[in-house]
Amino acid sequence: MRFTFRQIESFPGVTQADWQSWAWQFRNGLSTHEQFGRYFRLTESESEAFKRNPGFQIRSTPYYAMLASRDDVKDPVRRMIVPTALELRRDGQQVSDPLGERKHSPTERIVHRYPDRVLFLVTDQCSLYCRYCLRKHFTGQDQAFVGSKDYEKALAYIRAAPGVREVILSGGDPLTLGDGRIERVLSDLRAIEHVEIIRVGSRMPVVCPMRITDDLVAIFKKHKPVYFMTHFNHPAELSADAALALEKLVDKGVPVYNQMVLLNGINNHAAIVQALSRRLLYLRVKPYYMFQCDPSEGSEHFRTPVEESLQIQRELWGRLSGLAMPNLSLDIPGGGGKVGMVPDFETSNTVEARSYEGWDGVKGVYSAPEGASALPADLDTYLEEWNQIVQQPYGRG
Ligand SMILES: *Cc1c(COP(=O)(O)O)cnc(C)c1O
Ligand code: SF4
């Protein structure tokens, strides 16, 4: 919404209509040293990163660059897009495919790690490259939209796997694709009977909110249920434009969830997570995950210790609405999948009773009940019936 002096100064001749057009934002992305130099007073360390090529694409939308500070190198938004010489480090735990996705890929572009859901990497492109990206081995390699042969193979894989109830469109950022392609992917997936849920993972509300148009939202609504997973890391990213984009989605009935990543010096503090989560909840976005940063190449300086994350979570527990509380999780390096973490409130346990000390120090005991389990022996028959009505709009006739 804001059309600032800095925007006009950096892009002479830009109109309000240009600025609000996602095609313009994509076309005018900044990627070279010289382009970044026009927006930012670059430090030596930042300039060195441009000269020595950190091995991962550099790119930002003009919109996102304008959220960052021109002079302050500690600015959280700036640190997520402007590379520094720290990315050239190769010490510590750094691996090219930290989640072991290659070995869980039964066919190109599909990652199948959990029984009932798969990732479908429809493109490797993003409108902006986050310096800590976990999928650097794939993202931004210029493969763009999946080729038609791989696309058909990926669909065939999902079709032949009736246990897959959910498909998560990821990448890259699926919304770098045009509406026509998105419509096609969603209709192809909806044609598969056992696919119940489609998730779209996209950073567009954060980095290019203009991409969330009425036409796009109508496509999601047409193919419901489509869940939208976005990725805000800091309250400074929640601009008026971002709020409008999120409102468009939720007003049309598209549920929006947020997955954040804890990043050193950017958001690794309880007060920052709290401010972000409260604002998201107010905008009707459910904070879903709070991830440890994965050890991808060039990300060592972004990672934070698990102890600190547990401390942040403990500080927020009880003080932050349960609706706004993200689940703390990490991916086991090498492909072990996600592990969830919750504060340990238990002080002792026996079969008869478990003792707890709550978030503000109040203690209590929960005793095991007297008596045996009362579940019916023919439970399986009911379960089968309930599982069959999942896709009927109004449940049992
Ligand atoms: C994270 C992830 C999912 C989704 O997991 P949820 O806990 O359901 O959000 C699915 N597949 C892969 C490979 C993942 O890494
Ligand atoms: S939007 Fe996601 S895939 Fe793209 S660079 Fe950022 S973290 Fe990586």
Q: Total domain count for the chain?
A: 2
> Can you tell me the distance from the alpha carbon of 8 to that of 11, in angstroms, rounded to the nearest whole number?
5
Give tens-digit pLDDT for 118-159: 999 999 999 999 999 999 999 998 778 899 999 999 999 999
In a domain, 10, yes or no: yes
Domain end call among 295, 316, 340: 340
Residue 117 Cα: closest atom of ligand 1: 10
- If DSSP codes are grouped into helix, strand and coil, which group holds residue 49? helix
Give tens-digit pLDDT for 283-323: 999 999 999 999 999 999 999 999 999 999 999 999 999 99
The alpha carbon of 272 and the centre of ligand 1 are apart by a number of angstroms equal to 25
In a domain, 169, yes or no: yes
Residue 105's nearest CA partner among 137, 143, 131 is: 137
Q: Among all chains, which residue has been given the structure tokens 């349960």?
A: 322
pLDDT at 84 over 90: yes
Strand 363-367 and strand 353-357: the pairing is: antiparallel
167 in contact with ligand 1, CB cutoff 6 A:
no
Cis peptide before 147 (omega within 30 of 0): no
The alpha carbon of 213 and the centre of ligand 1 are apart by a number of angstroms equal to 27
Work out whether the CA dihedral 80, 86, 91, 92 comes out positive or negative.
Answer: negative
Least confident of 5-9, 189-193, 331-335: 5-9
- If DSSP codes are grouped into helix, strand and coil, which group holds residue 244? helix
199 in contact with ligand 1, CB cutoff 6 A:
no
> Which of 105, 168, 259 most suits a substitution to test ligand 1, by most atoms within 8 Å of the C-beta?
168
Phi, psi of 2, deg, nearest 5: -60, 135
In a domain, 237, yes or no: yes
Q: Tell me: do 74 and 162 sit in the same domain.
A: no
Give the percent of the chain with pLDDT over 70: 98
Q: Show the tokens assigned to 36.
A: 């970044």
Residue 201 Cα: closest atom of ligand 2: 2
- If DSSP codes are grouped into helix, strand and coil, which group holds residue 154? helix
Residue 110, H or E segment: strand 110-114
pLDDT of residue 5: 67
229 in contact with ligand 1, CB cutoff 6 A:
no
Phi, psi of 273, deg, nearest 5: -60, -40
Q: Tell me: do 146 and 44 sit in the same domain.
A: no
In a domain, 382, yes or no: no
Q: Tell me: do 188 and 259 sit in the same domain.
A: yes
Residue 132 Cα: closest atom of ligand 2: 7
Q: Tell me: do 41 and 152 sit in the same domain.
A: no
What is the average per-residue pLDDT within 184-194? Answer: 98
pLDDT at 4 over 90: no
pLDDT at 1 over 60: no
Domain extent at residue 211:
102-340
Average pLDDT score over the chain: 95
What is the average per-residue pLDDT within 207-213? Answer: 98
pLDDT at 328 over 70: yes
Q: Tell me: do 31 and 74 sit in the same domain.
A: yes
Residue 312's nearest CA partner among 257, 243, 260 is: 260
> Which of 114, 170, 199 most suits a substitution to test ligand 1, by most atoms within 8 Å of the C-beta?
114
Give tens-digit pLDDT for 244-283: 999 999 999 999 999 999 999 999 999 999 999 999 999 9
Q: Tell me: do 127 and 259 sit in the same domain.
A: yes
> Can you tell me the distance from the alpha carbon of 227 to that of 220, in angstroms, rounded to the nearest whole number?
9
Q: What is the CATH number of the domain that holds 330?
A: 3.20.20.70
